[in-house]
């Protein structure tokens, strides 16, 4: 029966893929680096556009760790989510607390799944929209 459980994770149906990404988005808000990294394949790529892509689970973990040290994630609002095959797309508003200032960023995300993990994650959002909400530098 081990072969059947492997097959189950290799070929997730649309509902399973959506549930997996919903769980992942909740993990993003908790921002615990090891939990976050556990959702990715070893060779995953995270492109948090407009920044450069990050390759590999260890580098993705470190990028999240550094980001979480600069801001606290607040609950994200998921507007829409859909899946087809190994692709899941999300429209969200990601919320953060930078120092004591709330920041909200509309975002489109595309996830490519492989063997029950995220092999690629691309988020598209407006850096200027983010920066104009930041607290003034002292």
Catalytic residue among 23, 34, 42, 94: 94
Our answer to whether residue 94 is catalytic in this structure is: yes
Partners of 55 in beta bridges? 45
Q: Is 83 exposed, middle or buried (0-12, 13-18, 19+ CB in 10 A)?
A: buried
Instruction: Indicate which residue of 34, 42, 123, 126 is catalytic.
Output: 123
Handedness of CA 69, 75, 77, 82 (dihedral sign): positive
Nearest Cα neighbor of 22 from 111, 97, 125 is: 111
Which residues are tagged catalytic?
94, 123
């Amino acid at each position: 029966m081990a072969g059947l459980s492997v097959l189950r994770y290799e070929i997730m149906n649309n509902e399973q893929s959506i549930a997996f990404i919903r769980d992942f988005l909740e993990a993003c808000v908790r921002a615990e680096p090891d939990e976050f990294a556990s959702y990715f394949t070893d060779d995953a790529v995270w492109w948090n556009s407009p920044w450069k892509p990050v390759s590999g689970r260890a580098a993705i973990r470190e990028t999240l760790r550094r980001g979480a040290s600069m801001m606290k994630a607040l609950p994200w609002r998921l507007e829409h989510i859909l899946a087809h095959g190994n692709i899941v797309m999300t429209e969200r508003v990601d919320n953060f607390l930078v120092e004591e200032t709330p920041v909200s960023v509309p975002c489109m995300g595309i996830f490519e799944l492989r063997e029950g993990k995220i092999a690629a994650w691309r988020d598209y959002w407006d850096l200027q929209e983010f920066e104009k909400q930041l607290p003034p530098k002292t």
